[in-house]
Amino acid sequence: MPGPAEPSLAERRALLRQALAIVSGSRRLIRGKIARGFSTKTKADESLVTDADLAAERFLRRELSRRFPDHGIIGEEFAPANAGSDFLWTIDPIDGTLSFARGIPLYGTILALHHRGRPVLGVIDHPSLGECYSAARGLGAALNGRRIRLQDLGPGEKVEREVVATGDRMHFLKCGRARDFDRLMRRHPQVRSYADCFGHTLAARGAVGAMVDFGIRLWDMAASQVLIEEAGGRYACLLSPPPGDLGQGFYGIVCGKPAVVDWLLPLFGRTKR
Amino acid sequence: MPGPAEPSLAERRALLRQALAIVSGSRRLIRGKIARGFSTKTKADESLVTDADLAAERFLRRELSRRFPDHGIIGEEFAPANAGSDFLWTIDPIDGTLSFARGIPLYGTILALHHRGRPVLGVIDHPSLGECYSAARGLGAALNGRRIRLQDLGPGEKVEREVVATGDRMHFLKCGRARDFDRLMRRHPQVRSYADCFGHTLAARGAVGAMVDFGIRLWDMAASQVLIEEAGGRYACLLSPPPGDLGQGFYGIVCGKPAVVDWLLPLFGRTKR
């Protein structure tokens, strides 16, 4: 029996509207936690989790299940639900918990929807910055509802003048790519770590030339392809686990302005398109 | 003839009040530039300058000269004035112009006052974050007027779990310290670039364990010693130009939680205190 068909443009628009409504709720919840205080614990893998992470994921799951009872949900903090569904939501309630726990405003909530592995929509919300990035396939990308479109380098513009953002070196190390990180640092003069989804949204609006992120999980990057491509950028996945990954495997991606992504790909063993 | 005596506690309090009033004016000016738009140029040294940098420095100089006609002023964008004075103000109107020009909210205005080379007060304002850090010697450090006091590591807490912030590698390279940067990246698992004064204020409130910044100028670091020390942190200057520097030479500093600074110093060829 075939599953549900790919959503139409009108359906994608409606799904995005719902996703944005849900994320405005998680933003309120997270801001409330900041105002009232939250507790922090260290997980088995030595990463941090706060009760704001848990409460936000519970909220997002509850809202998604209520609105889309047939859809699957994968999230960072709880077990997958209905993961065999054609429609699969991924949740990172607080990407950048280390930042969040220290009061650094550069964390974000990531929500994405895929249909049979193909991205339908993606939302990255930065509650403390008041910036919500969203995109759905064929509908463009937006920041707080206003269309964003990133500008590729012009003829005279040099890749060396663009900032290349990266995730933390320790994440490259985790998936055996520390050497790639070190090579990038030597080859490009303007590499800055903009950890977590903040680097992805900087790339989506062209504030940096590109973002290079390795050693991340499904929910860390699930929104980025549609966000970057709908903004007019280029997205390349350079490392991915075998099909069927539900958050166990590591990904590596490069995304941003086409000319900068093309310059970066050979450093990571890929030829330009 | 001896110059004016070192300012008393009451005088330092009054000077700080005036500095904060002046910076609230530059904040308004900078926010106005963001709202109305600004132009960007590349300077001879390939760094960026916007008309917001120039307008903010002009504003700060005008306010300082009006209130303190005998004091000297050194700033990033214009020539020194009255630089032989016992009281010397340093200005970086927009530290992190690259961020500012790209709409990344992590730039800041830095204003500091020294008396015969000894810090009297320091202010770092982040207009887009709405965060103003300030300190005067003997009067503590504050964020938006509320006292901040950074907590050193407790007995069971590991330096490896603390984030070590750095400036851009290209600045280390400029002063021949790229090797120190690379060594730090290999030795500590949680190094992140938090470029410009944003890394300094993160260190002042203990959001990161320490900030390591090399290849910076006088006005980039002039506020940091008093801010960090008054917050209860440790500050070490590891590289400085000959006395009498008016902004030509490079500095290198490490500052933050005492235990983290002590851990870092040997990596840069210094023994612990």
Tens-digit pLDDT profile for residues B110-147: 999 999 999 999 999 999 999 999 999 999 999 999 99
Q: Is the pLDDT of residue B271 over 70?
A: no
What does the DSSP assignment read for A178-221? Answer: HHHHHHHHHH-TTEEE-TTHHHHHHHHTTSSSEEEEEEE-HHHH
Closest C-alpha to A91, from A117, A54, A61: A61
Which member of A102, A103, A193 has the closest CB to residue B193? A193
Nearest CA in chain A to B193: A193
At A3 the pLDDT is: 64
Q: Is the pLDDT of residue A202 over 60?
A: yes
Do B102 and A189 lie within an 8 Å CB cutoff? no
CA dihedral B244, B249, B255, B260 (to 10 degrees): -130
Which member of B163, B182, B193 has the closest CB to residue A98? B163
Closest C-alpha to A60, from A94, A22, A28: A22
Q: How many CB pairs under 8 A join A and B?
A: 49
Work out whether strand A164-166 and strand A210-216 pair parallel, antiparallel, or are unpaired: parallel
Six-digit token pair at B142? 């504050």
At B260 the pLDDT is: 98
What does the DSSP assignment read for A91-114? Answer: EEEEE-HHHHHHT-TT-EEEEEEE
Do A195 and B192 lie within an 8 Å CB cutoff? yes
Higher pLDDT, A272 or B5: B5
At B51 the pLDDT is: 96
Q: Is the pLDDT of residue A2 over 70?
A: no
Single-letter amino acid code for the residue at A174? K
Higher pLDDT, A47 or B153: B153
Residues in B touching A195 (Cβ below 8 Å): 192
Residues in A touching B173 (Cβ below 8 Å): 189
Q: Is the pLDDT of residue A83 over 60?
A: yes
User: How much of chain B, in percent, has pLDDT values that exceed 90?
Assistant: 92
At A126 the pLDDT is: 98
Six-digit token pair at A142? 């937006």
Name beta bridge partners: B255: B211, B235
Closest C-alpha to B215, from B238, B233, B192: B238
Beta-carbon contacts of residue A235 (< 8 Å; ≥ 6 apart): A224, A225, A228, A229, A253, A254, A255, A261
Do A185 and B193 lie within an 8 Å CB cutoff? no
Six-digit token pair at B212? 């390591």
The alpha-carbon gap from A197 to the nearest alpha carbon of chain B, in Å, equals 14
- Calpha distance B110→B108 (Å, rounded): 6
Q: Is the pLDDT of residue B255 over 50?
A: yes
Q: Is the pLDDT of residue A273 over 80?
A: no
Q: Is the pLDDT of residue B105 over 80?
A: yes
Nearest CA in chain B to A198: B104
Name beta bridge partners: B59: none
At A65 the pLDDT is: 98
Q: What is the ipTM of this complex?
A: 0.93
Overall pTM > 0.90: yes
Nearest CA in chain A to B173: A189
Do A104 and B169 lie within an 8 Å CB cutoff? no
Structure letter (DSSP) for residue B187: H
Residue with tokens 């998936």: A175
Single-letter amino acid code for the residue at A19? A
User: How much of chain B, in percent, has pLDDT values that exceed 70?
Assistant: 98
Do A103 and B207 lie within an 8 Å CB cutoff? yes
The alpha-carbon gap from B214 to the nearest alpha carbon of chain A, in Å, equals 15
Higher pLDDT, B45 or B93: B93
Do A192 and B193 lie within an 8 Å CB cutoff? yes
Q: Is the pLDDT of residue B81 over 80?
A: yes
- The tens digit of pLDDT for each residue in B22-58 reads 999 999 999 999 999 999 998 888 788 999 999 999 9
Query: Three-state DSSP class for B20?
Result: helix
Do A192 and B105 lie within an 8 Å CB cutoff? no
| Structure confidence at residue A72 as a pLDDT band (50, 70, 90) | very high
At A1 the pLDDT is: 47
| Structure confidence at residue A272 as a pLDDT band (50, 70, 90) | low
Beta-carbon contacts of residue B247 (< 8 Å; ≥ 6 apart): B74, B76, B80, B90, B217, B218, B219
Residues of B with CB under 8 A from a CB of A: 98, 102-105, 129, 163, 168-170, 173, 182, 185, 189-193, 195, 202, 205-208
Q: What is the mean pLDDT of residues A196-200?
A: 98
Do A103 and B168 lie within an 8 Å CB cutoff? no
Residues in A touching B185 (Cβ below 8 Å): 169, 182, 185
Residues in A touching B129 (Cβ below 8 Å): 105
Residues in B touching A201 (Cβ below 8 Å): none
Please state, rounded to an integer, the average pLDDT across all residues of chain B.
Answer: 95
